[in-house]
A = this chain, B = another copy of it.
Amino acid sequence: MANYIFGVDVGGTSVKMGLFDTEGNVLDKWEIPTRTENHGEKILPDIAASIQEKMAQKSIAKEDVAGVGIGAPGPVEKSGIVHKAVNLGWEEMNMKEELTRLLGGMRVEGGNDANVAALGEMWKGGGQGHKNLVAVTLGTGVGGGIIINGEIMTGSTGAGGEIGHIHVEDNETEACGCGNFGCLEEYASATGITRLANRALKASDKDSVLRKGEVSAKAVFDAVKEGDELAIEVAKQFGEYLGKGLGVIAGIINPEIFVIGGGVSKAGEVLFDYIRPSFERTAFHGSQNVIFALATLGNDAGIYGAARLLL
């Protein structure tokens, strides 16, 4: 019987891998480096070799493995086609077919990393018990993963759930990484919060603990907890934008729960105090009854979700 699943989360510097049973218990966890040279041509062969090595080590036969799930950065279609994964060097290719081939015909399922992480949080993380979920990752950027009736919403070209780039500000003068102006990511990511803090420090003479060390999203929320007025002002701006953004998402998707993860979410539930006012002011009343929860799987959400793709 096929009792094992491999979950693979391909990042720009390392590939996280997990061996799971079909109940979602992680039996082993390890990492290999991501070799991005030559358009990342070594990445999938390295993954296949590592899986085969683990199987040999644990005496797992091919027929004992239900399959391999893999999440990768960039738009991934349902078919497994990746259009361009800039961080990996990949041009267009079908990672499902390719990895299946490398593993001698083993079943492979694939998805975008943010979407797959959302599935992980639904299965074993902050979103357990819910089938309609929006995962929001507040890290260097803002990522999103949308789950509808227990399934990833891929979008027509694999770009579904790109919530970091929804437009929330008309008067922004600095461009977002995507080239547009006024994307949610410019205010709600760790980088965005730092930017808001630096702007606030420049615009005011107010005393603040933020003037004493390195300005970062973590420093802002640490200062908020100490009652620092300027930091609270920055947190309010962050919350105003993110609450409006989530309000729009709620009106369109009508999810049961938002699961907030990424580095910024380490600040904890205090985030919700800043998000809720603008959310409640702007979201459609029929969609306001949403739970706000913190992600709990951290960097493991990707391998959990990848494994879940097989079930």
Contact = CB atoms under 8 A, between A and B. Distances in A.
A286 B73 CA distance: 13
Contacts of A183: 284
Contacts of A161: 252, 254
Contact of A148 (B148, B178, B180): B148
Contacts of A248: 166-167, 248, 252
Interface string A273-307: 00000000111111101000000000000000000
Given A153-B148, A252-B146, A253-B153, A286 B159 contact: yes
A113 B27 CA distance: 48
Given A160-B252, A254-B157, A254-B162, A167 B282 contact: yes
A249 interface: yes
Overall SS of chain A's interface = loop
Contacts of A289: 157
Residue among A148, A179, A180, A254 with max Cβ neighbours from chain B (10 Å): A254
A157 B287 contact: yes
Given A155-B287, A284-B178, A162 B251 contact: yes
Interface string A132-157: 10000000000010101000011111
A229 to B, nearest CB: 23
Copies in the complex: 2
A156 B127 CA distance: 14
Contacts of A180: 281-285
Interface in A90-142: 132
A286 B283 CA distance: 25
Given A148-B148, A284-B180, A287-B155, A253 B166 contact: no
Contacts of A179: 285
A69 interface: no
A284 B162 contact: yes
A182 B282 contact: yes
A38 B161 CA distance: 43
Nearest to A285: B178
A159 B247 contact: no
A262 interface: no
Nearest to A165: B284
A67 interface: no
Given A156-B254, A167-B244, 11 more contacts: A148-B148, A154-B254, A157-B289, A159-B286, A159-B287, A160-B254, A162-B284, A162-B286, A163-B252, A166-B247, A252-B253
19 contacts: A132-B155, A132-B156, A153-B253, A155-B255, A157-B286, A157-B287, A158-B286, A161-B252, A161-B254, A162-B254, A163-B251, A163-B252, A166-B252, A178-B285, A180-B284, A180-B285, A183-B284, A252-B252, A252-B253
